Structure 1
Amino acid sequence: MNREMKEKVRKNYLRRVNLIAKSKLYGGNLMKAVNAWPVCILRYSTGILEWSNKELHVMDIKTRKVLAMFGIFHIQSSVARLYQNRKYGGRRLKNVEDCVSSEEMSLKEHVVRSEEWMIKVVANKVEVCEARADYVKHMDRERAEELARKKMHGRFFKNIAEVFDERSCQWLRAGYLAKSTEAFVCAAQEQALGTRLLKKVVLGEEVAAECRIFDKTSEPIAHLAAGCSGLA
């Protein structure tokens, strides 16, 4: 029965993620919708269904695949940043594994604090290792450190560290960019886009020196193309 119910929850969760990904919601609202509608199924199952870390990890991977399929998450973009808080430069998607773990901790805290005699009997067998609030802060700190360790993904945040404040990520906190635009800008900041500079310097590939974006049949555009060729 546990296996059948988990399969139903898993399919329903991914179905809802697909429906939201197909929508025309702005980037910020789309992430809020995923955090509210599909994730609530997993929240309700916490404490009833026994999820393994591997099962939850696979669901996170499938979620990112769906987002990538609809242009909401760049395939080479930072996974840590995807789950970070928006005021710190992340996109604030709920991590399935973290969500279930935090809900389990919340249930344990409720059992331990309860004054009902029947629940107190259960509380004697419950051990609270870490508070839910501390766990959330702990995971946010770990993801920020993971992003900072990345040479490519974390370079942008290292370069702006001295001038970074709450206004630096106002465009993310507002969440009014189109879902694909938000993904593209984040990927560009993380140097995850397949530019010709990346191919030449990092991958060591031979690339053309001229810029092909411009039409050289037009004199003004040809002039811009000549200036752009030095940036290739």
Structure 2
Amino acid sequence: MTGLIGQWRHVFKLDPDRELSDEALEKVCTSGTDAILVGGSSGVTYDNTVDLMSRIRRFAVPCVLEISTDEALVPGFDLYFIPIVLNTDQGEWICGRHQEALREAGAHLEWDRIAAEGYVILNEDSTAAKLTGARAPATLKDLTAYARMADRLFSLPIFYVEYSGTFGNMEWVRQTRNVLQRSRLFYGGGIDGPDKAREAAQAAHTIVVGNAVYENLSQALATVDAVRKL
């Protein structure tokens, strides 16, 4: 299953702490997206994660849990993404919480279903940045240094550029992708319709569409075809 990540171009991200009707969820899951990523920066619990997973499981689409808290580590997902925030000096978001989780569950994990994400958060006003103490790279050179760290030093399968609610600098994203040799560049942030989806998909390997699902569903669904036609 982890090999499929290299083929993904479009992913929807759903937040267990946000409401989504059954009708809307069906449209998202049958849209032709490559996968559904489940995760959020706050309010994620075991119960709301189980509930969302069980609803997604009615459809034939890969379902991935991005683990933001070990309290919401729910069995039954196809894959598990473990974010490692590279641009923070708070060790708990780099390896601290990860070590705690593995101390309890490491012996029981199916490692072929787990992939680490090297995260760089570029919107310092976002909930994710405030939670993790992330400091946005000041220059493109700083960003590409993180990319090389993820790609060559740590051999992470995913390098995730997260603008979290704002649409980022696509030239930076494009040039960052070009320095990667093995890692796949995921981009998320501010993709609110097909135009930005096309622009982001031309810069990154994989785009992640999240807030638009809750704010303008028709525009969010249109991002799938926009990427497919490239």
Task: Answer whether TM exceeds 0.5 for this pair.
Answer: no
Identify, as 1 or 2, the structure richer in strand: 2
Q: TM-score, normalised by structure 1?
A: 0.24
Identify, as 1 or 2, the structure richer in helix: 1
Report which structure shows greater RCO (CA 8 Å, sep ≥6): 1
Q: TM-score, normalised by structure 2?
A: 0.24
